[in-house]
Amino acid sequence: MTLTTSHDFIGAGWSFPLGVNAAGGISLVRHEAELEQAISLILSTYPGERPMRPGFGCRLRDYVFRDSGPRTTSQLSNEVRNALLAWEPRIDVHTVMVTPSRDEPGLLHIDIAYAVKATNDRRNLVFPFYTIPEEGEDY
């Protein structure tokens, strides 16, 4: 029986944004950095942007012109959780908390607590999300 390490389970992928390494090949990211980039890519891609995978992504853009109240943060949390459950099979999502920034109006912090399935290695990623308040609205 062969033991699978966390690094074998996570693997490697192209860096994002796409880059070139010192040898002239495509830059790769490995291990936990690859998972973080994969999560960010899911959250940054709107469904329909990829013709060969039309359902891939998350509908974060639907929340750009909404307020930062409890209803919006709850819906946004559900949207992020559902997208990660659908598109990132290497992790177990524990919590997704969305909180408005105290210092910057229109900024929401999406705090994702997850674990790598192969090792139960618990991790956390904070993804910034910016909203555009209505004219004259003061957060």
Render pLDDT for 50-60 as a digit per residue (tens, 0 to 9).
Answer: 999 999 999 99
**CB 81 within 8 Å of CB 97:** no
What the block records as the tokens of 67 is 């307020």
What architecture (CATH level 2) is domain 6-130?
A: Roll (3.10)
Average pLDDT, the chain: 83
pTM of the complete model: 0.77
Say yes or no to pLDDT of 4 above 70: no
Render pLDDT for 37-80 as a digit per residue (tens, 0 to 9).
Answer: 889 999 999 999 999 999 999 999 999 998 888 999 999 999 99
In the chain, domain spans: 6-130
**CB 70 within 8 Å of CB 77:** no
